[in-house]
Amino acid sequence: MDVSTAPGPRIIACCNHKGGVGKTTCTVNLAAGLSRSGWRVLAVDADPQAHLTASLGQTVGPEEGLSGLLDGRYELASVLVRDGELDVLPASAALAGTETRLAAAAASTGLLADILRQSAGYDAVLIDCPPHLGQLSKQALYAATDILIPMTPDFLAMQSLAWLMDTLAELAASGDAPAVAGVVLNRFAAQKRLHREVKTLVEGHFPGMALTAVIRENVALAEAPSFGQDIFRYAPRSAGAADFAALAVETAVRLRLPPPASAGGNP
């Protein structure tokens, strides 16, 4: 597995062409797990559904957040919001209009990359991507140094994973592809035969990409967004918190993050 060694923060696009696989859950709670361990983290909501923003109990005006940045109305520092130890670049439904305008104008795919060059104070930037390969996903993939792929343990998700790998191979041919940091199985139940079979298939077809940490089925993970909290605040003793703590440790190792500047908490 070729993990990028580019200078600056690791910019991780949390991406999958299939919806409902847990991209937002993964982005929110991995970002929270890393920040609680002392790394300086920015979470970016690049999905017009703005589920990451809502999951953290944040709201943003239609002229603000990522939409305002991509439309050139604001600088990065002026639209960030703070959530505990985590910085958040929020979004609103206005981002859909921004995506349409970017596509109509054949805008450069490097706009988000240019914005995130202002994020030198972070160790990691995590981007919650939309579930389609439109302008916003292209912006995220172009900006990213690495890609983290959440998937559910079913065969349709397996097909989507193969499609995404083909997309990354095409990007690699043009020199624009981020490295694959790993594939993380979400809503995994070891007692289910199908889940075990899909896990074995991922490990066999994409050697070295499947992360050891899996996210088990856990009701607390489904409940936490309705309270505007990450899993560590909502249910710190839950299986979900334990799983995301393990994922944060494994991701930090895979991405070769520097030692954290401070210990913000103990996931």
Q: Which one has a higher pLDDT value, 231 or 260?
A: 231
Token digits for 106? 């054949």
Contact 267, 240 (CB under 8 A): no
Q: Measured in Å, how far apart are the chain's first and last C-alpha atoms? A: 27
| Residue % of the chain over a pLDDT of 90 | 63
Domains detected in the chain: 19-254 (3.40.50.300)
Integer Cα distance of 72 and 240 in angstroms:
38
- The mean pLDDT of 191-214, rounded to a whole number, is 91
Q: State pLDDT tens for residues 204-254.
A: 888 889 999 999 999 999 999 999 999 999 999 999 999 999 999 999 999
Q: Which one has a higher pLDDT value, 175 or 20?
A: 20
Token digits for 171? 């990007």
Token digits for 25? 């859950």
- The mean pLDDT of 16-30, rounded to a whole number, is 91
Residue 229 identity (one-letter amino acid): Q
pTM: 0.91
- The mean pLDDT of 64-87, rounded to a whole number, is 91
Q: What pLDDT, on the 0 to 100 scale, is given for residue 267?
A: 42
Q: Which one has a higher pLDDT value, 263 or 236?
A: 236
What is the average pLDDT score of the chain?
Answer: 89
pLDDT of residue 1 exceeding 90:
no
Angle in degrees, 0-180, between the axes of helices 94-104 and 135-143, rounded to the nearest 10: 80
**In sequence order, what are the residues at sequence separation of 6 or more whose Cβ sits closer than 8 angstroms to the Cβ of residue 8?**
117, 120, 145
